[in-house]
Amino acid sequence: MSDSTAISNSAAAEAGDSHHGEHPPYQRHHFETVDQQFDATNFAMWLFLLTEVMFFGGLFTAYLIMRNWYYPAFVEGSHQLSIFWGTANTAVLILSSFTMAMGVWSAETRRKGALVLCLSLTFVLGLVFLGIKTIEYHEKWEKHHVPGLNWSDASFLNPASDPEVHKDYPGDQPLQPDMAQKTEMYFFLYFAMTGMHALHMIIGISILGFMIVRARAGAYTTGHVTYVENFGLYWHFVDIVWIFLFPLLYLISRH
C-alpha cells in the first residue's frame, strides 16, 4: 500500500508542475490532501500542549504538597491576594477565549473584517489581563512580599500590622517564626506559577500581533485556517491553566 502510494507520487512529480493546479497553494507537497495536512498539524499542536500540561503539572504538584506541609503559612499567604482582581482577571481571560474562538469561526467562514476585529479584541483583553497582574505584582512589591528580592515576614508574625488584610480576616493568628518563614514558599510558588502563566500570555500576545498584521493582508481567510486554529488551541490552554490557578491560589484558603 505504502509502496504503491510512493510510486504514484513520484510519477506525478515526474509529470512536472502540472499537478500544482490540482491542490490549493497552501498544501505542502509531502501531504496527500489538505485534510491530512490539517490533521497532522493539529495532532502536533496537541502533542506540544501535552508537554505544557506536564510542565505546569509539576508546578501544581509542588503547590499541592507544599500546601499540605505548611498549611497555616499557605492559608495566611493566600489571604494577601485580592479576590476582586483575581475574579476580574478570570472574567477577562474567559472573554478573550471567547473572542479567540470567534476568530477561528471568522477564519473558517472567510470573514476578514470579523477576523481582524476578533484577533484585536483578544490582543487587547490579553493586555488588560497583564495590566491587572501588574497592579497585583506592584502591591506585593510595596508590601515586601516578593521572595528573595524584597521580603518581610511582618504581615504573618503579626497580622494586626497589616490592617487592610486583617479587617477581612480577623481570625488570622500570628504564626510562629518557623511557620511564618514558609509564607515565602507560598509567594515563591505564587510568582512561579502566575509568572510562567504571564510569560505564556506575553508570547501569545506577541504572536497575536503578528497574526493581526497577516490577517489584515488576508492571510487566514483563504480556507487555510490551520495557523489560527492551532494558535486558538494554545490560547485556550493558557486560559485553562488560569482556570485552575485562580481557585487554588485565591479562593480555597478562605475557609
Partner 1 sequence: MSEHNQQFEQKEEHDQEHHIVSPVIYLVILLALLVGTGLTVWASYIDLGEWHIAPGLTLFWNPAVALAIACTKMVLVVLFFMHVKYSTKLTKLTVASGLFTFLVLIGMTMADYFSRAWGRW
Contact 238, 200 (CB under 8 A): yes
Residues 43-72 that bind partner 1 (CB under 8 A): 43, 46-47, 49-50, 53-54, 57-58, 60-61, 64-65, 68
167: contact with partner 1 by CB under 8 A: no
Reading the block at residue 9, the C-alpha cell is 507520487
State the nearest-atom distance from the C-beta of 157 to partner 1, in Å.
26
Which range of residues in 35-43, 121-129, 152-160, 173-181 is near partner 1 by CB under 8 A?
A: 35-43
158: contact with partner 1 by CB under 8 A: no
Indicate the angle between helix axes 183-216 and 112-142, nearest 10 degrees. Answer: 160
168: contact with partner 1 by CB under 8 A: no
State the nearest-atom distance from the C-beta of 90 to partner 1, in Å.
5
DSSP labels for 6-33? Answer: HHHHHHHHHTGGGGGGGS-TTS-TTSSS
Burial of 57 (0-12, 13-18, 19+ CB in 10 A): exposed
94: contact with partner 1 by CB under 8 A: yes
Q: Whole-angstrom distance between the N-terminal and C-terminal Cα of the chain?
A: 63
Reading the block at residue 191, the C-alpha cell is 510568582
Reading the block at residue 21, the C-alpha cell is 493546479
Binding site for partner 1 (CB under 8 A): 1, 4, 33, 35, 39, 42-43, 46-47, 49-50, 53-54, 57-58, 60-61, 64-65, 68, 83, 87, 90-91, 94-95, 97-98, 100-102, 105, 108-109, 229, 232-233, 236-237, 239-240, 243-244, 246-248, 251-252, 254-255
